[in-house]
Amino acid sequence: MTNTALTQDIMGPGHLACAGCGAAIAMRHAMEALGPKTNIVVPAGCWSTFIGVYPNSCLRVPVMSVAFATTAATASGLKAGLERMGRGEETVLAWAGDGGTFDIGIQALSGAAERNEDIIFVCYDNEAYMNTGIQRSSATPPGAWTTTTPESALKSQRKKNMVAIMAAHGVPYAATASIAYPEDFMAKMAKANSIRGTKFIHLFASCPTGWRHGSELSVEVAARAVKSRVFPLYEVMDGEEWRMSPMPAKEPVSEYLRMQGRFKAMGPEIEAEFQRGVDRSWKSLARKCAPSA
C-alpha cells in the first residue's frame, strides 16, 4: 500500500505531527475508507495539536475539538444533531488517543456503548500520554520507560484489554488494526461504517518520539508488534463472535523490543516475563477465535 493508491485526498499537507508519526499515517487511511461525509470529534491529545492552528486545518472535513473526557458524549450529541437536520447518513468519527480512551475518556465511551450510539470510536494507541511529555497511561506495556516510569521504576502492570472491555458492552463491532497493515485497517473502517450502532477500533500507532526509535522505522516497528503477537489483529461481532484476521508467521518479541529505546532497561527476566505474557494473551485470544477461525 502506498499513498498513490489513495484517492479521497481528505487529509491535506501541513499537519504538525512529528516525523514518522503513526497517528498521522493512520488518519490518511481512515479518511480514505470513510470518505468526505465524515465529521470528526477530537479530544485533547496529539491530534488536537497537529491538525493546525485555526483557521488552518490539514483535514478537509468538519472537526470539533473537545475536552479530554467528552469525546464519546460529544460524538453522540453530534450524531443526534445531524439526524435531526436530516443528515443522518453522515459519519461521526471519534478519534482519541489511549489517554483519552483507556483512562480519561472511558466513562463517556462506556455510556455511549451502553446506549449503542451510532458512532465510530477509534483509539490511536501510542501507549502513553505523548503530547504532554510521554507519561504512563493504562495502555503502556510492562517494562516500558516513560517519564513517569523511569528506568529505576519501569511499569510493572499489564496493559488494559480495551477491546475485551468494549466487547463486554456487546457493541455491534470491535476490532484491532495496525498502521503496518493499511488494507486491513481500511477494510475494518469501511465495515464499521456499514454497521449501525457503536463501533470501536483499537489502532496500534507507533510513536518515534516516545518509543525512542527512528522515524523511518514506524511501520516496521508496528509490523513487528503484529508478527510477535504483541498486538494481534482480530474482530468481535456483537460481543460474542471473535474472529482472527489474517496473521503473518509468529516470531519472538525480542526484535520488537530491541528496536525501541523505551525497552532498553528491560533485563532478561523482565523480557522473559513479557514473552510469557504475550504467549498467554495469544492463547486466550486463539481460544476465543477458534470456532470461527
- pLDDT for residue 293 is more than 50: no
DSSP secondary structure string for all residues of 15-48: --PPTT-HHHHHHHHHHHHH-SSEEEEEESSHHH
Rounded to an integer, the average pLDDT of 30-49 is 95
Residue (of 120, 282, 281) closest to 201 by Cα position: 120
Q: Whole-angstrom Cα distance, residue 168 to residue 145? A: 31
Q: What is the pLDDT of residues 278-291, one digit of tens each?
A: 999 999 999 999 96
- pLDDT for residue 14 is more than 90: no
Q: Whole-angstrom Cα distance, residue 264 to residue 145? A: 8
Predicted pLDDT at 6: 81
Predicted pLDDT at 291: 67
DSSP secondary structure string for all residues of 162-225: HHHHHHHTT-SEEEEEETT-HHHHHHHHHHHHTS-S-EEEEEE---HHHHT--GGGHHHHHHHH
Which residues in 7-144 belong to E strands, given as ranges? 38-43, 63-66, 91-97, 120-125
Unique residue bearing C-alpha cell 450524531: 79
Rounded to an integer, the average pLDDT of 225-248 is 98
- pLDDT for residue 224 is more than 50: yes
**How does residue 101 score in pLDDT terms, banded at 50, 70 and 90?**
very high
Q: What is the C-alpha radius of gyration for the chain, rounded to an integer number of angstroms?
A: 18
- pLDDT for residue 72 is more than 60: yes
**How does residue 253 score in pLDDT terms, banded at 50, 70 and 90?**
very high
Predicted pLDDT at 4: 52
DSSP conformation class of 160: P
- pLDDT for residue 1 is more than 50: no
**How does residue 121 score in pLDDT terms, banded at 50, 70 and 90?**
very high
- 145, 264 contact by CB (below 8 A): yes
